[in-house]
Structure 1
Amino acid sequence: MENNTALNYSMLGNNSGDLHTDFQNAEEPEKWGFWLKTVLTPIIVFAGIIGNILSLIVMKSKALRHKSYSQYLSALAVFDTLTLIIRQIRSVDEYSRDNSSSGVIFHNFDDIGCKIFNFTEHICYLMSSWLIVLMALERLIAVCMPFKKFLIRRRSGATVVIIVLFISMSLSQAFRLVMVEQLESRNCGASDSFIELYSNLHIYFYHMTLTFILPVTFVLVCNGLILYKIFKIRNEINSRVEQKNRHHRVMRKTHRTTCMLLTVSFTYLGTLLPLLTLSLALDIIVKARGREAYIFYVSVTPYLDIAIVVSLINYAANFFIYILSGKNFRYELKKCFYSQTTSIRSLTVRSSKETKEEMIRL
């Protein structure tokens, strides 16, 4: 989720008389949260990009590429990486704006550049959220019906589902290609003729519905049913004498993968909920209290910056989750590095042998 809570607040303020003037004359928010965010963001972005690249390499390895969940995790690694890059661009522009009158990035954008960047930014955020939903749904089917191959559980089917999801998310954000432009403040935002409609679409449709209510509800329901089914099956296995049949082996393997993907889902919920909660609370207070809400905005701004840093962890933590909870992932990662090391050694041995043979011939 992007750091546009202050932007939302300003847009709402522009619709309420002299509130924007009050913003300029009122006390500035404390900076400790901003500086902490500025320092931690590049660290998280760098670690996340490296981790996502390694995750993509492992998920595309020969042993895992045929798995349906590897398609979702590969797509998640791509969109998480794009989200981290966009977040770093935002951070650089915010820092430059804090030290000068205008940012170094969006200052040079034209209308088309603003439209494309804004559209791409929100598509990446939505795809990262809804791929978690697809993973939760895929795991629910895998646990409840492990021997049935639905479209969402096939490799080709997973690719089709991801493409359909991308098209759907793109259509849902098409209004940004029309309403966003380069403003007089040399920043990207909605034009005056669309400001009210854009604010409602951004806050209530994108922010509350697509980013918060729907994905969180789907993930919580799916994960709850998965955990219930896992505990139920484990109790049945423990109560039986014969535990070494094919069904039980398949279920144990499925449960290990499911636990890893559940950790990814709960990390998504845990890292995004603080920012979502603060943002929604701020939007509600702005609507209810008008000018008086700025006092609350000033007091909560440092904590919003911290919540943004916490939410950024969601896009960088998956690789480390795979390392800690995925046995197959650790094995395939070692095999990738071992095969590269072996090939380098074999090339070195070959070259040394050829050198020796040439010396003997001479």
Structure 2
Amino acid sequence: MNCAQEFQRTNYSGQMLTYAMDDDSGSWWWWINIIGTLCFGVIGLIGNLICFLVVCRFALPQHSFVQYLRALAIFDFVSLLFECLQSLNNLLVYLFAINILNFRSTVLCKIYEYSSHVTVLLACWTIVGLTFDRLILLCDPWAKQWPNLSRKICNLQCAKRIIYVLICLSLVINIPHLIYQQWICRKSGYRYSAAFKGKFYSNETQNTSDHFNCQCRISPSHKQFAVLLYVQWKIYIFHLLCYTLLPGVILIASNAAILQVIHAPRQIVGQKNEHLKSKLTRTLTSVSLMFLVLYFPHAIVETLSLILVPYFNRRCSIHSLIIIRVLKRLSELLNIAALGINFFLYILGVNHYRSAAIQMLGLHHFHIFLPYLTVEHRNSLGSLGLHMSQHQRRNTQTDSSSIRLLKIVNNGSPNISGYQTRSSR
């Protein structure tokens, strides 16, 4: 279908066509996405930084979940940093025509896209590793065949190995971004969009002018087979399989098994049962569940958009394209919340981390935060204060002992010559 003739026949405005087929900057859903991403992103960056410092300074290093929490804080921080940079760049381009991400180089463009996709995938699969670690530790499904298998899997060294394997796999999976991406510029507006021209990618505007819409796109120099191969990989391998289905199925099955074990009736009370009832276990499970609820709507919408947008472009379905853009913008906010909410769940759910954060930030000097300190941290602060007071009292006694009293003569006037310190002798 010739979309140009279809648009002339309908009453769509040029702005609506641009929103659907080229760029939705300035729309109400675009503004909600930009403002929400910058606000939630900054809060998430601060929260993940505090979370990383708290886990590194106050957590017990021998536990496997500590390693996952450290890695998760790093990956979430970097992912949020990419999101905030992209939103800030979009805002500056729209308001002031300033492009802070104007790489003007294909190499930098490839590295930026590659790094952002690697960290997003790692943030997702680190949660999967943490949830699976909790599943093995709590459920112990192979206890009869291999009694010590859970101890061999749920330890610090094994957690490090799993994280290294995830990093290597993510680096390998995202290699096509290094091969097929290129810094390409084209004119803005729906008449210069790929869908309007009747093909997905155009090689007519290899210009770097500020009046052009420049970003990383599939290089038009590749053959059609290579382009189709990259499109199929991005839709079905990266987004559908690695980004959505596999982590989603693992998280749903693992959390269902964990919740069943936690809420199952237990007649014998022992160390394992008490561990199941601990706030840490419930907090880590809530982290996984919140990530599942907030993160995967965006993953599903992103995957569906890659599958359906080419079909809607061929059908010149403007309403459907607008709906896809609105859903993508709003679901991105849920994704930002999923990447930045972990710290607040730790603070609300685990007394040790809440108390450690208060102590690290120096908030224990305010009386309003003292009731939230654990007994261990209160004792450490009390012993530190006692040591400081003893040290100050010792210094005061030393200073006072070095001063002689005034010698009073019979007439009541002080003897000035008698006022001297031992150090002056």
Same structural fold, with TM-score higher than 0.5 when normalized by the shorter chain? yes
Distance change in 2, residues 1:213/1:357 (3 Å): same
Task: Give a deviation string over 1:49-101, Cα, whole Å, max 9, x none.
Answer: 11111111221135422211011011000010001110011112222333466
Match of 2:106 in 1: 111
What is the rounded CA distance, in whole Å, between the counterparts of 1:159 and 1:69 in structure 2? Answer: 10
What secondary structure does 2:57 align onto?
coil
For 1:325, the aligned partner's letter is G
Task: Give a deviation string over 1:77-134, Cα, whole Å, max 9, x none.
Answer: 0010001110011112222333466x61332341110111111000110000000110
1:85 matched to 2:81? The reply is yes
Distance change in 2, residues 1:248/1:283 (3 Å): closer
What is the rounded CA distance, in whole Å, between the counterparts of 2:64 and 2:58 in structure 1? Answer: 13
Q: 1:191 aligns with which of 208, 219, 238?
A: 219
Contact persistence 2:266–2:273 (CA under 8 A): no
1:236 matched to 2:263? The reply is no
Contact persistence 2:38–2:88 (CA under 8 A): no
Distance change in 2, residues 1:330/1:99 (3 Å): closer
What is the rounded CA distance, in whole Å, between the counterparts of 1:100 and 1:196 in structure 2? Answer: 36
Contact persistence 1:133–1:218 (CA under 8 A): yes
Match of 1:223 in 2: 255
1:55-134 alignment, distance < 5 Å: 55-99=51-95, 104-134=99-129
Q: Which has the higher contact order (CA 8 A, sep 6+)?
A: 1
After TM superposition, give the deviation of residue 328 of structure 1 in Å. Answer: 2.9
Unaligned runs of 5+ in 2: 20-25, 187-213, 366-380, 404-422
Match of 1:27 in 2: 17
Distance change in 2, residues 1:24/1:168 (3 Å): farther
For 1:163, the aligned partner's letter is Y
Task: Give a deviation string over 1:176-209, Cα, whole Å, max 9, x none.
Answer: 1111121134322220115333222222211111
Greater Cα radius of gyration, structure 1 or 2: 2
Distance change in 2, residues 1:285/1:63 (3 Å): closer
- The more displaced of 349-358 and 109-118 is 349-358
TM-score relative to the length of structure 1 = 0.81
Contact persistence 1:323–1:329 (CA under 8 A): yes
Q: How many residues end up aligned between the 2 structures?
A: 336
What is the rounded CA distance, in whole Å, between the counterparts of 1:316 and 1:96 in structure 2? Answer: 24
Unaligned runs of 5+ in 1: 1-15
1:197-212 alignment, distance < 5 Å: 197-212=229-244
What is the rounded CA distance, in whole Å, between the counterparts of 1:331 and 1:100 in structure 2? Answer: 44
What is the rounded CA distance, in whole Å, between the counterparts of 2:83 and 2:389 in structure 1? Answer: 42
- The sequence identity of aligned pairs, in percent, is 21
Match of 1:265 in 2: 288
- The more displaced of 24-33 and 133-142 is 24-33
Contact persistence 1:140–1:226 (CA under 8 A): yes
Distance change in 2, residues 1:312/1:338 (3 Å): closer
Distance change in 2, residues 1:65/1:28 (3 Å): same
Distance change in 2, residues 1:344/1:141 (3 Å): same
Contact persistence 2:135–2:254 (CA under 8 A): yes
Match of 1:308 in 2: 332
- The more displaced of 351-360 and 133-142 is 351-360
For 2:342, the aligned partner's letter is N
What is the rounded CA distance, in whole Å, between the counterparts of 1:35 and 1:42 in structure 2? Answer: 11
Q: 2:298 aligns with which of 272, 275, 283?
A: 275
Task: Give a deviation string over 1:123-151, Cα, whole Å, max 9, x none.
Answer: 11000000011011100011113984444
After TM superposition, give the deviation of residue 303 of structure 1 in Å. Answer: 3.6
| RMSD between aligned residues | 3.3
For 1:134, the aligned partner's letter is G
What secondary structure does 1:203 align onto?
helix
